[in-house]
Amino acid sequence: MDSRETVRALKSLDFLVVSDLFMTPTTALADVVLPAATVLEFNDIGHYGLGHGYILSRPRVVEPPPQCWPDIKILNELGKALGLGKYWFDDYEEIPEEILRPSGLTYAQFAERGMLKSERRYRKYLEKGFATPTGKVELALSKAEEMGFPLLPEFECLPEELTDEFPLVLTSAKPAEFLCSSNRRIEALRKRRPDPLLTVHPDTARESGIVEGDEVYVITRRGQITFRIHLWDGVDPRVVCADPCWWLPETGPENLFSWDRSNFNVLTDGAKLGKAFGTPNLRAIACRISKV
Q: Over 70: is that where the pLDDT of 274 sits?
A: no
Give the per-residue pLDDT at 156.
Answer: 59
Quick one: 203 exposed, middle or buried, by C-beta within 10 A (0-12, 13-18, 19+)?
exposed
4: in domain: no
Taking alpha carbons only, the member of 261, 244, 243 closest to residue 252 is 261
Do 174 and 278 reside in the same domain of the chain?
yes
* DSSP run (H or E) holding 218: strand 215-220
160: in domain: no
Do 286 and 175 reside in the same domain of the chain?
yes
Taking alpha carbons only, the member of 252, 250, 198, 249 closest to residue 226 is 198
User: Do β-strands 215-220 and 168-172 pair in parallel, antiparallel, or remain unpaired?
Assistant: unpaired
* DSSP run (H or E) holding 80: helix 71-81
Do 133 and 224 reside in the same domain of the chain?
no
Q: What is the CATH number of the domain that holds 202?
A: 2.40.40.20
73: in domain: yes
Do 199 and 235 reside in the same domain of the chain?
yes
pTM of the model: 0.82
Do 187 and 275 reside in the same domain of the chain?
yes
Rounded to whole angstroms, the Cα distance separating 5 from 268 reads 10
Give the per-residue pLDDT at 282.
Answer: 76
Do 72 and 111 reside in the same domain of the chain?
yes
Do 63 and 140 reside in the same domain of the chain?
no
Q: How far is CA 191 from CA 15, 81, 89, 195, in A?
A: 36, 43, 43, 9
Quick one: 127 exposed, middle or buried, by C-beta within 10 A (0-12, 13-18, 19+)?
exposed
To the nearest whole number, what is the mean pLDDT of the chain? Answer: 91
- Average pLDDT estimate for 272-289: 77
**pLDDT tens, 119-134?**
888 898 999 899 899 8
**pLDDT tens, 27-79?**
999 999 999 999 999 999 998 877 788 999 999 999 999 899 999 999 999 99
Rounded to whole angstroms, the Cα distance separating 216 from 234 reads 20
Spatial contact of 236 and 201, defined as CB atoms under 8 Å apart: yes
Give the per-residue pLDDT at 22.
Answer: 92
6: in domain: no
7: in domain: no
- Contacts of residue 249, defined as CB under 8 A and 6 or more positions apart, other chains included, come to 22, 23, 24, 184, 185, 257
Intra-chain end-to-end CA distance of the chain, in Å = 25
Place 149 in a pLDDT band, splitting at 50, 70 and 90: confident
Rounded to whole angstroms, the Cα distance separating 250 from 246 reads 12
| Alpha helix (H) residue ranges in 48-167 | 71-81, 94-100, 107-113, 125-128, 144-147
Give the per-residue pLDDT at 159.
Answer: 65
Total count of domains within the chain: 3
Torsion over CA: 78, 81, 83, 84 (sign): positive
Structural domain of residue 241, as residue ranges? 168-291
